[in-house]
């Protein structure tokens, strides 16, 4: 099946700085890559996603880049704010269908 690896596991940034989280995937047939934000004890919330026919997508302070050749994709958060503190999960569809394999998650801490 699909194997998604996510780095780093923990990231601390000063408020206002940028945060970058990287993920790699193994299944070349994967064509959908969402990023979720999860606060403690709550449901994952989709913050941005990208399909394999697009190299980059941006939504205000959040952007995702995809390198299909290298099979990795990254989440970029600019001008970080304390409310950005959460666990972020990357995911990739596998076997070319709707099933998602999740990375291990990244704890982002924004220091005021």
In 3D, which of 37, 38, 25, 39 has the Cα closest to residue 100? 25
CA atoms of 30 and 2, how far apart (whole Å): 8
Q: Report the site for other proteins in 40-59 (rule: CB under 8 A).
A: 41-46, 49, 51
CA atoms of 88 and 39, how far apart (whole Å): 9
Q: Least distance (Å) from other proteins to the CB of residue 37? A: 11
Decide whether 41 or 112 has the Cβ nearer to other proteins: 41
Q: Report the site for other proteins in 87-106 (rule: CB under 8 A).
A: 89, 93, 98-105
Decide whether 43 or 69 has the Cβ nearer to other proteins: 43
DSSP code at position 83: G
| Cβ–Cβ under 8 Å, residues 22 and 108 | no
Q: Least distance (Å) from other proteins to the CB of residue 78? A: 23
- Contacts with other proteins by CB under 8 A lie at 1, 32, 34, 36, 41-46, 49, 51, 89, 93, 98-105
């Amino acid at each position: 099946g699909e194997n998604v690896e996510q780095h780093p596991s923990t990231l601390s940034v000063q408020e206002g700085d940028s945060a970058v989280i990287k993920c790699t995937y193994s299944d070349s047939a994967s064509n959908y890559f969402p990023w979720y934000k999860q606060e403690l004890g709550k449901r994952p919330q989709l913050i941005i996603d990208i399909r394999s026919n697009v190299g980059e997508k941006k939504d205000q302070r959040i952007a995702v880049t995809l390198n299909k050749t290298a099979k990795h994709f990254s989440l970029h958060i600019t001008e970080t704010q304390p409310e950005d503190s959460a666990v972020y999960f990357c995911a990739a569809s596998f076997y070319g269908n709707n099933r998602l394999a999740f990375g291990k998650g990244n704890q982002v801490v924004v220091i005021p």
